[in-house]
Amino acid sequence: MRTLTVTTLAAAGLLSLAPGAGAATHANHLTVSGQASHLRPAVGEVENVRWTVTNVGDGHLDRVRLVSSIPNGWTVKDGPGCTHAGANLRCELGGLDAGRRVSVDIPMVVHRPLGAVQLRAWAAGSVGRLSVPGPETSFQVVVVARH
C-alpha cells in the first residue's frame, strides 16, 4: 500500500500574557498532516485518511479539535469518534502537551466523482479562554473507475 503524506506547518497563534501580570509567554503552534491509504482509490473502495495534529509549540493546548471535510459523494464507513457537522467531521481531541501529537483515522467509501478529489482538514485549540486558531491543509487523490 502506498501512502501520500502532506504536512503544513503554520503558527497556530501566539499567546503573550503581560509580563507585569507575572505570566509567562508561550508560543502555541499546531501542525496538521494528512495521509491517504491510496493515491488512486477506485469507486467502491475504502479510502483510509489519517489526519495528525501536532503541538510544536512550547505550551499545553486545551480543547484541541480537528475538522475534516467529507468529499462530495463519499460516505464515512465507521464512526471514528467524530460528529457530523454538515459536510464535515468534527473531532474533539482533548488537551495536547507541547511536542505531542494525536491522530484520527477516517475510513470513507469512495463513490464519486472520478478524477481529482481534494481532502481538507484544519485544527484549532485553546489556552484557557483564548482560542488558538490552527492551520488548514489539503491534498488530492485521484478517483479511478472500479477495476
Structural domains of the chain, with CATH: 4-14+24-142 (2.60.40.1530)
Whether this model's pTM surpasses 0.85: no
Mean pLDDT of the region 10-20: 31
Average pLDDT score over the chain: 82
* CA angle (26 as vertex; 56, 29 as ends), nearest 5: 30
User: Binning pLDDT at 50, 70 and 90, where does residue 77 land?
Assistant: confident
pLDDT at 5: 38
pLDDT at 20: 31
Cβ proximity of 66 and 93 under 8 Å: yes
Q: Quick check: helix, strand or coil at residue 19?
A: helix
Between 17-21, 106-110, 129-133, the lowest mean confidence (pLDDT) is in 17-21
Rounded to whole angstroms, the Cα distance separating 142 from 117 reads 6
